[in-house]
Amino acid sequence: MGIEKVVVELNGFRQRTSMLKEEIGRVSRALAERAGQLNDIVGKSLRDLREQLGGTTLSGFMSLQGKYMQGEMNDQDYNSQRDYYKNELQGMIRRLDETKKLMMLMAQIQSGPSGPVGQSQPQPGPNQPQR
């Protein structure tokens, strides 16, 4: 009679272990899918920022500085355009910070399961009925 009870409990443990493995597999697939989406977002964001920084924003600001230094524009026009470029560059810095955070998140996801997923495996033990 005692061995039958042990066999029943062992089979229950095997079923729970199998269910946990399936759940971990589902979570891993979902994380991989989400990581792919984040990778696409980060890539697009970096391309957009590269185009802006290498394109009109930075070159426009440098051109503005040159014109002002050569006396080709008055203070009011310079200040107005400088503020525009300053706001554009600050926006780019914010987007770079957001991109950096996304990249850090992606690195954590790619480093493998940790935290709650890794901790969920031992949980069936305490759920077993005590004798």
At 87-120, the pLDDT tens digits run 988 888 888 888 888 788 877 777 765 544 444 4
Q: How far apart are CA 47 and CA 96, in angstroms?
A: 11
CB distance 106 to 39 below 8 Å:
yes
Q: How far apart are CA 90 and CA 84, in angstroms?
A: 10
**Residue 60's domain spans which residues?**
2-112
Residue 119: inside a domain, yes or no?
no
Residue 20: inside a domain, yes or no?
yes
CB distance 123 to 83 below 8 Å:
no
pLDDT of residue 112: 64
CB distance 102 to 38 below 8 Å:
yes
Look at residues 120, 88, 113, 90 and name the one whose alpha carbon lies nearest to residue 31. Answer: 113
Residue 30: inside a domain, yes or no?
yes
Look at residues 16, 19, 17, 26 and name the one whose alpha carbon lies nearest to residue 113. Answer: 26
pLDDT of residue 118: 44
């394109």: which residue's tokens? 55
pLDDT of residue 20: 93
As a whole number, mean pLDDT of residues 73-79 equals 92
**Does residue 22 or residue 48 have the better pLDDT?**
22
**Three-class secondary structure of residue 130 per DSSP:** coil
Please state, rounded to an integer, the average pLDDT across all residues of the chain.
79
Q: How far apart are CA 120 and CA 82, in angstroms?
A: 55
**Three-class secondary structure of residue 87 per DSSP:** helix
pLDDT of residue 114: 52
* Residue range 26-35, pLDDT digits in tens: 998 888 888 8
pLDDT of residue 23: 93
Residue 122: inside a domain, yes or no?
no
Residue 125: inside a domain, yes or no?
no
Number of folded domains in the chain? Answer: 1
Residue 123: inside a domain, yes or no?
no
Residue 118: inside a domain, yes or no?
no
Residue 47: inside a domain, yes or no?
yes
